Each structure stands twice: as structure tokens, then as C-alpha cells.
Chain A
Amino acid sequence: MKLQSQPATQRRSMLSAVGLAIALASCQGQIGEAVNGAPGGPPGPGSTGAGTTTGTGAGTGGTGGPGTCAAAAPAPGRSPLRRLNRAEYRNTLRDLFPTLTKVIDAAVATFPLDEEKLGFTNNADALTVTGFLAEQYMSSAETVAAEAVKDLTTLLPCNHTTVGDDACAKQFVDAFGTRALRRPLTSDESTRYFAMYTNGKPDGFEQGVSLAITAILESPNFLYRPETGVPTANASVLALTPYEMATRLSYFLWGSTPDTTPLDAAKAGKLVTPDDITAQARRMIADSKARQAAATFHSEWLSVGILGDKTKDKTLFPDWTVTAVSDLFQEISSFVDYAFWTEGRSEKFFTAPYTFVDASLATFYGMTPPSGAGFVKTNVDVSQRSGILTQGALMAIFSYENQTSPIHRGKFVRERLLCQQLESPPADIAAKVKPPMVDPSLSTRDRFAAHSAEPVCASCHHMMDPIGLGFENFDPIGRWRTKDGKFDVIATGTVNGTTDADGQFNGAVELGARLAQSNQVRECIVTQWFRFANARAETDLDQCTMAALKKSFADSTHDMREIPVLIATSDAFRFRAADGGGQ
């Protein structure tokens, strides 16, 4: 059985509400992987609905009740072997060699790009290694090692001229190995890496040390994060070792390797109980590295990374300059950072009556420039803008060069905010229907009318266009407009097919208010964090974890800052399936 993009209860209510059952079923895609051999089967979808989805009431099928999860053993789902992606590899090397940032960045810049899945670039299944990347790992390790040994004082834990070359090298190999592999070296490993030093030593002490570093940086135990786990009372479930937990926490919350604090805690046998883990997670979240990791999450979740590659028609939009792009990026980054770290509540994410502008962006938007220098929190006209939805960056990203794209704006809301995955258009679509072109004699709304008139289009597009057309007050570069060509903008829209956000709205501000109150949206935020934290899509085996996370998020009055901590102590994060969880 495959995981549906939403619980069956939700789909049923959606279908009856919309009355396009067959078309919808064919349009909605599936997320995640087939899972085999779930022991005893997961609790039925009813448990998820009952536990976390309020207000649906419909369709309580399923075998499990709300109590099933609490009584059950930990159900960790899959734990695929994770390789460091580009960003994690770079961050890790920067933490291991803080003085070599430039060299490290230059090396990583030549790596092939990571493939993304469901928006995230850390998806374990998508991160394979080709011959080219294997070569880049080799060159990068050699380059970084050669640079590192140019400054032995910074690098070594001892003075090799007083302690003796070999003794100091031995200390270094064990200390550096522990940092790099995120656990103490086995005696085999210690011997092997010291032997590397010995191999290189005839060319000089530095050459010996650099060869040991090279070998460690090319080790699969460095490039991947293997987990052996330790047995639990339940034979089908393994707990993570404390070192493995330190590593998971760090890559989740910092996007990088653990510092010495969690490694020391692991050495002392801590990081086992939920309290230990919570305390360590809160310590890490208080560090500035967590701000960067959260920014990475938000950037990938909201597709902000592609802003820099958007070009616009120069004749129509001469204001689309490098400065404007950079300003819009700064605006959404500042907004998300504030909404998450300072505001916290998910409601404000959609309804905040402010944004962040500097003088140049204020001019771009036609706002009064703020008095302070740089980007300043500034109230907006709430009849036009509020929250994340009306950020100029998103409006520009989900537009074409010369026109808005109600399709992509609607699709963004569906997939990223409501967690409803849509299928791609059929390959032969172009042979059947011509895409709407810019036509001065029609408004955007009228040009897209074909999507609801043509059954082949309507089956999917009624999921996207009616939402996307509600953004028509925003032009292709994210500015407010009241005219679409010679036509007055009409920004009415409709949400359908959700558990609790359905209905008509007028403009993006009203849509934001509607999404702010939706449990489906709140749960989707949790789901997106889950995918980011675990480097995979949720599956049936995670139903109890998901149900518990969603309930705890609700109990926190939807404080988004709590989600990372809740995930860190969830079953999926603390345990692994002994059989791999259907890998």
C-alpha cells in the first residue's frame, strides 16, 4: 500500500465536496515509497484523522483508534543510509577546518548538483554517487588536507617537535578521526589512519599528516552517516547509539557535523532519554547555526532558491534588476526568519501585517521608504498584503517572464502549503490544447478559462487555477496591480478539495487568513519539517509519529519553533527499524 498524499478521510470529504471524484483521483499524485512488510500493519488512517484533524468528521474508516499509537512500540519507519549533500559536506568541512573556508567553498563549487526530491536536496534516495563525484571527493580531500597542514599549530592538538612526530600524529589521528567520523575510531581504524601517516611521512611530517586527513575525508564513514543502532526490548526496533543521535541532531538542526558538546554527551552515555535529547536539541537551536539550517529548510520548502534564476521581460519590467532580485530575496529571508524565530505561531506566518523593506525595495513596491537603514520591519497596507503569500519573491518566482502564472501560484499553495501532490501534465498535452498566450484582448483570467472548459485540463487545473487566480493583484515581478492590461483585476478565488480550508475568497490576504486557520495547512508544515529532518517522505509506517507530532504541534498552540524539538524526540528520529523498514 502506498501512502496517499493525505489521509483517506480527507480525500473522501474532498471528493464529495467537489464532485469530480475520478478526475481528482487521477490528478493527485502519490508521495513516498512502497513499504513492505510493516509488522502487523500500521494503525488505520482513522487514527491520524481522529488524533490531529479537527473538523472533518467524515469517513472514519480504518482499524486503529486514537489509542493504538500510544500503546504501540516505537514505529520508526525507514532510515535510509544518508550521504552528506553538498551543503552538509561544505558545512562539515568548514567546522572541521574553520580557517579554510575559501578553499573548501572553491572545492565544493565544482561538485555536481544534488538532486532534489519533494523540494528538498537532502533526500537520501536521491543522493547517489557517480564516478564524477567520487573524483571530486578525492580532489577535495587532497586539496583540503594539503592546505590544512600548512598551519600545524592550528591543526594539531600537540606540539610535534616536543611530543615527538609519531606520538603527536597518533593523538591527532584519534582526535580528528573522532570529530570527522562523529564517533571514536575503532582500533582498526586508528591503526589504519596512523599507517597512512606512516606511509606519507618519508616526504615529511606534514605529508604524513595530510595523507591521514585525506584518507579520513575519503572514508565512507565520513561521507555517509552509517547507523548500527542498539537493540531495544522490541526485536524489530533498534535505538540509535548516543553518537548516532548526536549526529542526527546536528545534521538536522545545524546542517553540519556535531561539535564537541554532543559528542562528549554521547561519550558519557547521554542522549538516550527524550529529556536528554530535548535539552541537547534546545542547546543547538539556540546556536546561530540553527538559524542557517532553518533558513535552508524554509528556502527549500518555499522554493525560494530559484529566485536568482528568474528573468523577466526587459521591456515590460525594466525594474527587474539584480538589485531588485537581491532585495526580494532579502525581504523573504528576513520575513521568514522573523516569523519563525520571533513570532513563532504558524497563524502569523500567513497573516503578519508587516514585511521587511529597505529604501530601494520600498521604492520598487511604491511604499514609503523606512526611516532606518537596511531592511526594517515595516507595516504593510493590509488591504493588499499580509504574511508569506504576498511576498514579492514568491509572486515573481511563480510567474512567467511576461505574465503571471495562476497555475504555478495555485500549485505552490496545493503542494507546499496543503501537502497535496499534483501530477505533471500529460506528455501529449500540447498536441491537444494550446497554452494560453498573452493576448491584449483578454484578461489573464479569461485566457485561463480554457482550463475549466476543457475536461482534459479541468481535471487537474481546477486544483490550481481557482487558487492561483486569487493572486492576480500581483504582477509578474511581485508588485501590486489593479489592472491586468486594460482590464480591472478580479482577484476572487476558490479553495476546494481540502479538509477545512474550502471556500471562496477575494485576494491573497483573504486566502492567507483562510490558510492561517486551516489544520491541513498546520499539519502540512509539520509534514514538510518531517521530510527535511528524515531525508525522506513520510510513509504508512510513520502514521503514529505523524499523528503524535501533529497533536503536539497543536498543543504548542502551533508554535513552529517547537516542531524541530518535537521531531527530534519522535519515534522516526530516535529509532530505526531492525529490518531497515522496508528499504
Chain B
Amino acid sequence: MRRNLSRRMFLRSATTGAALALPLLSDFDHDAHAADPTTFKRLIVIFTPNGTVTQAWKSSGSGATFQLGETLQPLAAHKNDIVVVPNLDMTCAMQGYGDAHGLGIGCMLTGTELLPGDQFKAGMGGPGSGWPGGISIDQYVASKVGAMSKFQSLNFSMKRASGTLWTRISYGAPGQPVTPYDDPQVAFDKIFGDIGADPAVLARQTARRRSVLDGVTREFATLSSSLSGADKRKVEGHLAAVRDIESRLDVMSGTSAICYKPVRPTISASQEVIRNDTGMEIMNAAADTDVPQRQTVWRQIMVAALACDLTRVTSFIMAPSRSDIFMNWLNLPGVPVGTPQSHHAYSHLDNSYASPSGQALVKTNQWYASQIANIIADLKATKEGAGTMWDNTVLFWCNELGEGAGHTHTNIPFLLAGSAGGYIKTGQALNIPAATPHNRLLISLCNAMGLPDTTFGNPKYCTGGALPGLKA
């Protein structure tokens, strides 16, 4: 079904970037969807890398007794919206060949092992790996709930980096990474470009695009039929992307009652993250001073895109796996002389709570927690129906490692925030046995988003189904 758009081709441009204060709702009727929040759930996936200091992450209790760990203190204002999920292992990361970061990030949202291959090098003694072997949770949910929005999902990355295991988290299918937007201006133009344009101009552009894409898809099909093996897969993947563009031609922008157009960002992509042959980031402290500003810019794009119902599923890579962002603005306690003051470098050192490098890691993750608190605050400030956007949202904060220095895949610092329309019982640290496969959390997320799945990823790790104690 396509929505009737004529009455909603309205747009507002916020005059200042900062204001999430919303435009005048009184001009317009509420969107039918907005009036019924249960049909309008949103999923936000946030990735931050390099593990944590378990002792500082650990939280306990529920309701009145719920205590957030030190790392999570920046989220204290939203304590009642949070579920800390301890004791989960990424069992699928414990198989096959790869480095700990690659194995973890590949398993994290897909619940599957890496494909065999030699595209990515392993540690000593292994043949290496290909891309992850399954669809990621965000893309799966998007494929189910995203059809009504202009973008099935919107994926963002703080850093510009070529596609590798360490710089991607989302997969549309086994071995098919989703390229995130890494340039705020490009993202803005793509996402909000149609908003405010003359409907007649847009209609003509759509007609032209349809005409071209009809022909292009036929050419792709002809070419594909003459190919086999890897060549065919390559072309079919491209064809699927073209078909997806085509299928959304009629979906217009700015259709929700609370839509507003943010100000176009003044910054473009970050400097590219360069890695050497083994995937280690070549450090560049100078490039990182604008990271806090970029956090704000991406958050504004993300929140506005959700408010406009341009998408219902979004992911944000706040830093790539093995990130070596220099967090100079944090004034980190001294780590040993000669060690670069960058995230991955100190995450590798002594991660005991009291050590300087352990404290640096705690402060780093606290900063990321504060960025998540900002997202939550923005969503809470955006009215929707009788409540706010936050009521219908669930945010999933994930990491590719458990403990930083050990590069473990046990006890991953997973966190959920938001109830997804009342589905999730928030304000608690879940009480589940150690070594529970994290696939069960992915199942819970599907259920929270209204999907009845009983497995996600490799069914081997799904015994028991959704996590107990999570549903309200």
C-alpha cells in the first residue's frame, strides 16, 4: 500500500541545527501510523568496539534495586529505560579462523560463523575467512518492517573506511556487507534531499528513474543469465540493489506528522581510516579531533530520519572494530610511555580496573555511553502521538569483544534501551546463566520488533529461544 502523500508533502526546515524542538503540529492531522504506536516500532543498533572492563560494566538488580555499573553512569537519567544483559557469549565467534575482532564483529549481529575463504587474514596458523555467513539482525528486521519507509534501513559510520570485516556490521545476506553512509553531507542530500521539493518535479524525476531502471534491470538479468559462479553472484547482488532502489521510487519523503528537515551538515566524510596489510589501523591522532562534532551531526541526521519515518531501522558504527581513535578530549589518565593514546592500543594493555590503561578503557566506554544517552534524550524530546518517539523504540548497544585486553567473546557488554512499545521490561540487569549464546538475545529483539522468530542465525545456538525475563 502506498500512502496518500498529497496532503503530506510538507516540510519544515529547522532554522537551527541544534533545535529538536518541533515544528507546528497543529497544521496537520496526525499520521494514522503515529496514532497507533504499536505499528510503528523502531530499531536502533549502535556499535562501539574493543571490549570493556567487565568490573566497571557490571550492573545488578531491577526496579528500585537496579544499579548501573560505573561505565554506564552517563545513562543514569535513563536508568528506568535500560536493560543490561550480562553473561552472554558470542558462541559463533568461537569457531573458524580469523582474528578476535573479525570473528566477533562478524558473529555479533548475524549469529553465524564467518564464511570460509581467504579474503581476510586469520591469526597465525589459520587459512583466514570470508565475510559473515548470515543476514544481520538489523537488516532482517528491516526486511520485515521497513517496506513502508523510503529507506528499508539507514546505516551510518563515524569513520570513512573501505569495506572489511572490521568496518562493517550489517549484512543483507551471507557475504553481502551493507555500506554505511560515512559522509554527513552525502547522507543528508540522499535522505532529506526530496523534502521540500516541488511535487511535480519529484514526480517527473521518479518517472525518468523508473524508465531507466526498467531497462537497466533487464540488462542485468540478461547479463546474469550468461554468467555462473562468483561472476553471477556479483551481478545478482548488484541487481538486487537496483531492484531495491526501483521498488522505493514511489515512496515519498516527509510523510510523518512529526517530520522536520534538519540543517545540512557543514562537514563531509572523515579522513579515511587506513589499515596496513594485517588490518591494523594506521594511527592518525590529528584526524580525530572532530569526532565529538561528528557524533552530534550523525545523531541529528539519525533522529530526524526516524522522526520523518524515512526509515524504521538504523545502525551507527561509532567507531570501527580495532578503532584507534585518539580521544584527546577525554584527558585520559596516562597510559605507559610509548604506547599511543588510542582506543585499540590501550584496550590491548592491562585491563585490570585500577590500571591506567583499564581506566582509559572505562572512560572511553563512558563517553560512548554518554553519546547513547544523547540519542535517547533526543528521542524522548520528540513527541509522537500521545507520547514520544522513544516509547516505540528499542536501542541495541553492542560490542565485538567481551573483555578488552583478553579479546574474549564471553560476557559481551550488551545493552538494550527502550521498551519497543512496551514489549521489553526495562530498568533491570537480566539474570541469566553464564555462557548463554547471544543468539537468544537476537531472537528477543526480533520478538520485541513484532516478529515471531524462534531462532536467529545458526539454530545450534538458539536452544531455549528468547531470553527469559526480558518480556514485560
A residues near B (Cβ < 8 Å) are 26-27, 29-30, 32-33, 80-81, 83, 110, 112-117, 119, 125-126, 128-135, 138-139, 141, 192, 195-196, 199-200, 203, 211, 214-215, 218-221, 223-224, 226, 228, 306, 309-311, 400-403, 408, 411, 415, 423-431, 434-435, 437-439, 459-460, 580, 583
Contacts and interface: CB of A to CB of B under 8 A. Distances in A.
Contacts of B213: 138, 218
B270 to A, nearest CB: 11
Given A110-B183, A130-B177, A133-B179, A427 B123 contact: yes
Given A220-B238, A428-B100, A580 B271 contact: no
Contacts of A139: 190
A139 B405 CA distance: 44
A431 B231 contact: no
B122 A112 contact: no
Contacts of A218: 212-213, 216
A424 B122 contact: yes
B215 A196 contact: yes
B163 interface: yes
Contacts of B182: 112
Closest 6 A/B residue pairs (Cβ): A437-B338, A424-B278, A426-B123, A438-B338, A134-B241, A427-B100
A459 B164 CA distance: 27
B209 A138 contact: yes
Interface residues of B, number: 78
8 contacts: A30-B127, A132-B179, A134-B245, A135-B190, A200-B208, A215-B211, A427-B100, A583-B230
Contact of A437 (B172, B180, B337): B337
B338 A402 contact: yes
B12 interface: no
Given A26-B125, A132-B181, A309-B271, A80 B161 contact: no
B96 interface: no
B245 A138 contact: yes
A215 B216 contact: yes
A427 to B, nearest CB: 4
A423 B122 contact: yes
A27 B278 CA distance: 13
Nearest to B125: A26
A402 to B, nearest CB: 7
A192 B218 CA distance: 11
B415 interface: no
B339 interface: yes
Interface string B224-238: 001111110011011
B95 interface: no
Contact of B285 (A80, A114, A311, A415): A311
Given A224-B223, A423-B122, A424-B279, A311 B179 contact: no
Interface string B80-117: 00000000000000000011110100000000000000
B277 interface: yes
B469 interface: no
Given A81-B234, A211-B211, A425-B124, A431 B406 contact: yes
A517 B122 CA distance: 34
B261 interface: no
A306 B235 CA distance: 31
Contacts of B208: 199-200, 211, 214
A583 B229 contact: yes
Nearest to B209: A138
Interface string B116-146: 0011011111011000000000000000000
Given A131-B244, A132-B179, A81 B186 contact: no
Interface string B174-212: 001111111100100010000000000000100011011
B145 to A, nearest CB: 17
Nearest to B233: A128
Nearest to A402: B338
A430 B179 contact: no
A131 B235 contact: no
B64 interface: no
A129 B245 CA distance: 13
A203 B172 CA distance: 38
B242 interface: yes
B274 A431 contact: no
Given A113-B161, A115-B163, A220-B216, A309 B179 contact: no
